[in-house]
């Protein structure tokens, strides 16, 4: 008996020791906006699986009975609660529940006025057509009782884009014109009227006005907390800061919990159905899932990766939300494997490898939550800025459903055109000459590594050898930015609903252009990229929205024709919600609104 | 004694300086940076931030600046979220110290008691049971234990909440933290107690008719304490600074997870502060240990 007990414990220890590593980047996980799907799940515990699946099968039907309090987990400690400085999705969720901007989204995802009285009045006269926005504001108050006026927006926006604020999203204000003194061309013509002048007509400006970076902040609080401007976010570092949204932060135990209470001064306070929001601050999948199953938490948006297959389609509490974004991998166009090739040959090599990747396998076996395989870079469902959807039936760059084994011959042909020859191994695989050795760069994370292994196997069919480099989060980001890889794991979750948000990643001056297009010393095999830069500038300056759509398609064509970008699937987002909870809704950018939630 | 302590303090400052230098230069040598994000920070913003935190200066100058600020009691602010480092350390340490303090107390008290019992009942049932469970306790890493505790007491039995915003419960994390040191102390106590029970002075005490309990407490246990104290000093310092694993599983905002997160984020000021804090704590724990030796065994001299 003793022996048996010891051996059982030993097995448990060994199984768990396998999962001991890789917990660290869970902390980061929620900080990166583009990376919020379950594929990021950083740990999977074999030993826990048995017990957890059992809980899952029971449907986690244990619910708590505090009908006035919603218990939520979104992530661990947010970096910034200041809406101007925040750049994470979970921080954005907190912002939309604590601050009110000019516009917001309803349950159906429609843009509706929030502090604005109505949709903006846009200038129609010849010269300034589509450039001058006039927004009338409702009378409203800050949570401390101060009046909130149009001047607050003038201050907040100028602050958010000021150089010394160094906000990640400061660049979003670039579409607003500047006055001679360098401040934004945003005027409060009276206490409740805001007049905004844009550089060029912009189809997504209304959307931006609902984005947290555009929310107002309380000037007196900001300046009192940080008189010399050296710590811009200081005013919102502890509970009790002044805000204007549905909830105020009452208490905050760091890395443990946050308690939000209904803000009596919120302009739309009557519509708020949930009295309090209590956030569990954790990024530990196991703890979060356990808290959900024990009924301590009502709503979570991560589950351990191994659990997804047993929950999806089985447990009615498990849900999937659409997201606007693309998971992709990308080639470094300056990588030595392309040395000596022409631009066309290098593109053919990348196209061939693109065709070899079995996307269906990846979404079914690794993603597991019904992601749609991607055949374009601009994600499905994204607006085109001219009243339609950007992605049409003909904006498909390959048949994403059949890439993989069925495409081996096509891929082989492309590689032959690029100067490679093959000898048949007799088992459906080939030996390539000359040999290709390359690296695949990814951060530690079960989903990411599994995708890398799938790609490795797919490329192996043509004898291409690929080494997977799994790096610590921060090192990964650095090496990816510097182009120290042949292929890197990538992802982009849209900030606003316009294709230019996806396309401008690849201008040669962009910090996100990891594919090094137009960067560094131009090699003979790297595509000429000045034309793309010019095209993006033209898109930004085009007032004719129909023409703009055309230009954006042209830009995507150009990007995809380099085959440096290999879209795998379009992002979606998972959540679990207790059956007695209702009324929580989310936008395609991952923002979740809790104020209209009800609990039985 | 005072001279000895003075000497030790000077040595302590030197070792802390060495620790700070090693940490500072190694930390800056590892790849990655504090402003790396999935969506890149713009070049302009990065420049402003680097200037603000002196990261644009040569590394040697940065170190001198850092030490200079530290002398003035300025630990700086977090590069990651702009929080005041000293406030953050204080706040986190309070949590970790509360938890760790209770865990250390539990480990020491129970460890000593069990160790003594095991020594006194050598090769009888209580001894065997205690040794069996302490072997288990030293063999099981805290993350295994923490996960098992969570599974059994929170999910299966429902005795404790996994997480609570109003009423956090420290029972399970204390158990998870204290089992290993408790088991270790038990074994140490047993061994050294057995050793001192065989000493001449114990036999003499027994022979001259000293009551049994007095022989155990005054003669045997007291002399058995020296090796235990050697272990307990650093153990307490270590346990007070928190455990990332236990803190993550039980959602506790202590210093342990802060340390790990700061390294992942390359939050240089926070890495420095936590390392120095831990170093100072360790140095003090060692000093206190040495003083404790003297109190337990007056024969020990500080020469």
pLDDT at A172: 94
Q: Do A253 and B158 touch (CB under 8 A)?
A: no
B303: confidence class by pLDDT, cuts 50, 70, 90? low
A54: confidence class by pLDDT, cuts 50, 70, 90? very low
A28: confidence class by pLDDT, cuts 50, 70, 90? very low
Kindly state the average pLDDT of the residues A337-359: 96
pLDDT at A67: 93
B148: confidence class by pLDDT, cuts 50, 70, 90? very high
Of the partner residues A27, A258, A511, the one whose CB lies closest to the CB of residue B43: A511
- Across-strand partners of A421? A433
pLDDT at B301: 77
B302: confidence class by pLDDT, cuts 50, 70, 90? low
Q: What is the mean pLDDT of chain B?
A: 91
- Smallest CA–CA distance, residue B136 to chain A, in Å, is 8
> Which of A15-29, A231-245, B131-145 comes out lowest in average pLDDT?
A15-29
| Higher per-residue pLDDT: A400 or A445 | A400
d(C-alpha A587, C-alpha A230), whole Å = 34
Q: Do B32 and A20 touch (CB under 8 A)?
A: no
DSSP β-ladder status, A565-577 and A372-373: antiparallel
Peptide bond before A433: cis, by omega within 30 degrees of 0?
no
> What would the two tokens of residue A573 be?
């987002």
Nearest to A205 by CA among A180, A174, A182: A174
Rounded to 5 degrees, φ, ψ at A89 are -70, -40
The pLDDT tens digits for B227-281 are 899 899 889 988 998 888 999 999 999 999 999 999 999 999 999 999 999 999 9
Q: How far apart are the first and last CA of chain B?
A: 10
Q: How many CA atoms lie within 13 A of A55 on its CB side?
A: 25
With a pLDDT cut of 70, the percent of chain A lying above it is 90
| Higher per-residue pLDDT: B196 or A2 | B196
The pLDDT tens digits for A166-182 are 999 999 999 999 999 99
**E strands in A181-266:** 186-190, 193-197, 247-253, 257-262
The pLDDT tens digits for A408-426 are 999 999 999 999 999 999 8
Q: Does B80 touch chain A (CB under 8 A)?
A: yes
B50: confidence class by pLDDT, cuts 50, 70, 90? very high
Q: Does A285 touch chain B (CB under 8 A)?
A: no
- Smallest CA–CA distance, residue B244 to chain A, in Å, is 9
**E strands in A198-337:** 247-253, 257-262, 276-280, 299-300, 318-331
The pLDDT tens digits for A382-405 are 999 999 999 998 889 999 999 999
B78: confidence class by pLDDT, cuts 50, 70, 90? very high
| Higher per-residue pLDDT: A160 or A28 | A160
> What would the two tokens of residue A301 be?
């948006």
d(C-alpha A410, C-alpha A406), whole Å = 9
| Higher per-residue pLDDT: B237 or A35 | B237
Chain B residues close to A232, C-beta within 8 Å: 82
- Smallest CA–CA distance, residue B261 to chain A, in Å, is 7
> What predicted TM-score, i.e. pTM, was given to this entire model?
0.89
The pLDDT tens digits for B178-190 are 999 999 999 999 9
pLDDT of residue A33 exceeding 60, the answer is: no
Kindly state the average pLDDT of the residues A268-292: 95
A299: confidence class by pLDDT, cuts 50, 70, 90? very high
B117: confidence class by pLDDT, cuts 50, 70, 90? very high
B176: confidence class by pLDDT, cuts 50, 70, 90? very high
Kindly state the average pLDDT of the residues A440-468: 95
- Across-strand partners of A487? A331, A440
Chain B residues close to A286, C-beta within 8 Å: 147, 150, 249
- Smallest CA–CA distance, residue A512 to chain B, in Å, is 6
B3: confidence class by pLDDT, cuts 50, 70, 90? confident
Q: Name residues 488-517 of chain A within 8 A of B (Cβ).
A: 491-492, 510-512
| Higher per-residue pLDDT: A442 or A8 | A442
Q: Do A27 and B265 touch (CB under 8 A)?
A: yes
Q: How many CB atoms lie within 10 A of CB A597?
A: 21
d(C-alpha A256, C-alpha A280), whole Å = 6
Nearest to B255 by CA among B272, B274, B269, B237: B274
- Smallest CA–CA distance, residue B198 to chain A, in Å, is 32
A503: confidence class by pLDDT, cuts 50, 70, 90? very high
pLDDT at A573: 93
> Which of A395-399, A430-434, B218-222 comes out lowest in average pLDDT?
B218-222
Q: Does B77 touch chain A (CB under 8 A)?
A: yes
pLDDT at A19: 40
pLDDT at B198: 87
B61: confidence class by pLDDT, cuts 50, 70, 90? very high
Estimate the crossing angle of helix B268-296 against helix B85-120, to 10 degrees: 40
Q: Does B73 touch chain A (CB under 8 A)?
A: no
> What would the two tokens of residue B41 be?
């920070």
pLDDT of residue A53 exceeding 60, the answer is: no
Tell me how far CA of residue A285 lies from CA of A242, A366, B158, B172, in angstroms.
32, 17, 19, 19
Q: Which residues contact B29 (CB under 8 A, 6 or more apart)?
A: none
Q: Which residues contact B19 (CB under 8 A, 6 or more apart)?
A: B275, B276, B279
pLDDT at A38: 37
Q: What is the DSSP letter of A432?
A: E
């Amino acid at each position: 008996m003793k022996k048996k007990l010891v051996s059982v414990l030993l097995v448990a220890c060994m199984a768990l020791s396998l999962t001991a590593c890789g917990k660290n980047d869970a902390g980061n996980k929620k900080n990166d906006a583009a990376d919020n799907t379950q594929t990021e799940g950083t740990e999977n515990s074999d030993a826990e699986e048995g017990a957890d699946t059992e809980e899952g099968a029971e449907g986690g039907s244990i619910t708590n009975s505090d009908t006035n309090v919603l218990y939520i987990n979104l992530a661990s400690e947010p970096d910034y609660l200041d809406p101007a400085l925040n750049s994470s999705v979970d921080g954005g969720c907190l912002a939309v529940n604590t601050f009110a901007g000019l516009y917001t989204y309803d349950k159906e995802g429609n843009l509706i006025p929030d502090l604005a009285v109505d949709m903006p009045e846009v200038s129609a006269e010849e010269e300034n057509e589509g450039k001058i926005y006039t927004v009338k504001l409702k009378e409203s108050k800050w949570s401390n009782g101060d009046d909130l006026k149009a001047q607050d927006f003038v201050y907040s926006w100028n602050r958010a884009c000021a150089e010394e604020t160094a906000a990640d999203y400061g660049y979003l204000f670039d579409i607003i014109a500047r006055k001679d003194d360098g401040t934004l061309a945003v005027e409060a013509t009276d206490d409740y009227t805001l007049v905004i002048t844009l550089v060029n007509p912009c189809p997504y400006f209304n959307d931006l006005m609902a984005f947290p970076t555009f929310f107002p902040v309380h000037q007196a609080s900001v300046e009192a907390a940080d008189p010399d401007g050296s710590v811009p976010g200081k005013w919102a570092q502890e509970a009790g800061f002044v805000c204007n949204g549905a909830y105020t932060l009452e208490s905050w135990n760091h890395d443990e919990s946050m308690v939000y209470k209904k803000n009596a001064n919120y302009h739309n306070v009557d519509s708020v159905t949930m009295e309090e929001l209590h956030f569990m601050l954790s990024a530990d999948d196991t703890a979060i899932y356990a808290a959900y199953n024990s009924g301590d938490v009502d709503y979570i948006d991560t589950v351990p990766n191994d659990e997804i297959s047993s929950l999806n389609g089985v447990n009615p509490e498990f849900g999937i939300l659409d997201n606007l974004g693309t998971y992709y991998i990308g080639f470094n166009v300056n990588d030595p494997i392309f040395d000596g090739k022409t631009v066309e040959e290098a593109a053919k090599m990348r196209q061939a490898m693109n065709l070899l990747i079995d996307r269906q396998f990846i979404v079914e076996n690794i993603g597991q939550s019904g992601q749609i395989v991607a055949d374009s870079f601009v994600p499905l469902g994204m607006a085109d800025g001219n009243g339609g959807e950007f992605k049409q039936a003909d904006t498909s760059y390959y048949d994403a459903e059949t890439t993989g084994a069925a495409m081996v011959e096509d891929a082989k042909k492309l590689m032959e055109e690029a100067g490679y020859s093959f000898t048949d191994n007799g088992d459906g695989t080939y030996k390539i000459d000359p040999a290709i050795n390359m690296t695949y760069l990814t951060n530690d994370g079960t989903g990411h590594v599994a995708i890398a292994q799938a790609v490795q196997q797919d490329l192996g069919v043509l004898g291409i050898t690929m080494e997977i480099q799994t790096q610590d989060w921060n090192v990964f980001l650095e090496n990816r930015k510097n182009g120290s890889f042949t292929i890197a794991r990538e992802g982009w979750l849209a900030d606003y609903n316009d294709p230019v948000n996806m396309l401008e990643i690849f201008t040669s001056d962009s910090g996100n252009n990891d594919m090094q297009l137009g960067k560094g010393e131009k090699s003979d095999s790297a595509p000429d990229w000045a034309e793309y830069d010019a095209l993006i500038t033209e898109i930004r300056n085009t007032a004719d929205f129909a023409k703009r759509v055309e230009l954006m398609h042209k830009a995507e064509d150009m990007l995809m024709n380099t085959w440096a970008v290999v879209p795998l699937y379009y992002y979606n987002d998972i959540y679990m919600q207790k059956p007695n909870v209702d009324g929580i809704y989310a936008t395609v950018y991952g923002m979740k609104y809790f104020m209209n939630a009800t609990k039985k | 004694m005072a001279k000895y302590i003075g000497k030790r303090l000077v040595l302590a400052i030197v070792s802390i300086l060495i620790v700070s230098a090693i940490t500072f230069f190694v930390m800056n040598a590892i790849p990655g940076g504090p402003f790396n994000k999935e969506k890149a920070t713009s070049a302009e913003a990065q420049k402003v931030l680097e200037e603000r935190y002196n990261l644009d200066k040569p590394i040697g100058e940065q170190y001198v600046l850092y030490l200079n600020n530290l002398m003035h009691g300025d630990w700086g602010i977090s590069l990651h979220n702009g929080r005041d480092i000293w406030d953050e350390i204080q706040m986190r340490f309070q949590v970790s110290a509360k938890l760790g303090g209770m865990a250390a107390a539990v480990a020491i008290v129970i460890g000593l008691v069990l160790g003594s019992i095991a020594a006194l009942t050598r090769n009888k049932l209580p001894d065997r049971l205690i040794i069996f469970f302490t072997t288990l306790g030293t063999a099981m890493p805290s993350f295994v234990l923490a996960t098992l505790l969570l599974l059994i007491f929170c999910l299966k039995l429902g005795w404790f909440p996994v997480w609570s915003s109003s009423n956090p419960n420290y029972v399970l994390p204390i158990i998870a933290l204290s089992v290993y040191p408790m088991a270790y102390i038990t074994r140490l106590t047993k061994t050294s107690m057995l050793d001192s029970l065989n000493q001449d002075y114990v036999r003499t005490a027994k022979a001259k008719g000293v009551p049994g309990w007095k022989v155990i407490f005054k003669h045997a246990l007291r002399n058995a304490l020296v090796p235990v104290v050697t272990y307990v000093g650093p153990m307490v310092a270590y346990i007070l600074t928190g455990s990332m694993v236990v803190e993550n599983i039980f959602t506790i905002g202590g210093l342990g997870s802060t340390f790990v997160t700061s390294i992942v984020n390359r939050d240089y000021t926070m890495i420095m502060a936590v390392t120095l804090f831990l170093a100072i704590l360790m140095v003090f724990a060692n000093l206190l240990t040495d003083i404790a030796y003297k109190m337990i065994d007056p024969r020990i001299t500080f020469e």
